Amino acid sequence: MPRWICSGSAAGLGRGSLYGAFGGKDALFRKCLDRYASIYGAQYERALAAYPDNPVRAVEAFFGVVLDRIADPSAPGGCLLARSASQSPTLNAVNQSLAVLSRAGTTDADLHSVVRIACTTVAETLARAKARSTHGH
């Protein structure tokens, strides 16, 4: 969550008042997550579903959405997804790396190189898993 939401300073509210206005800390978090999902969720889902027979292309499309979000000047700094999701630490690490690298002035070509490396890693991991399942391991 952006710092201004946590502190409530932009609205002149204390943390307790802000949580109270939304029904508690968990309710505020859910509201923030719902807002994030309404803005980006469908984009991520479309990207991941666009290539049902090609997981590497699907991951590449997912990171295309990430790169578009990073480049959007109207998007707030930080990433609710990366801060709140711990189920996929590798994808979150790449996602955060892209955000940090972009803020540090990394070129678009180099950001896309990071995405290609991530996609190669996904492809190799899937190939190893398939080989293990085929060989009965």
pLDDT at 50: 96
Residues in the chain, overall count: 137
Query: Does residue 32 register a pLDDT over 70?
Result: yes
Question: What average pLDDT does the chain have?
Answer: 82
Task: Let me know if residue 21 belongs to a domain.
Answer: no
Task: Let me know if residue 33 belongs to a domain.
Answer: no
Task: Let me know if residue 35 belongs to a domain.
Answer: no
Lowest-confidence region among 3-7, 41-45, 103-107, 124-128? 3-7
Tens digit of pLDDT for each residue in 88-125?
A: 677 878 888 999 999 999 999 999 999 999 999 889 98
User: 46: domain range?
Assistant: 42-134
Task: Let me know if residue 76 belongs to a domain.
Answer: yes
Task: Let me know if residue 78 belongs to a domain.
Answer: yes
pTM above 0.75, yes or no: no
Give yes or no for a contact between 80 and 36, defined as CB atoms under 8 angstroms apart. yes
Task: Let me know if residue 25 belongs to a domain.
Answer: no
Task: Let me know if residue 86 belongs to a domain.
Answer: yes
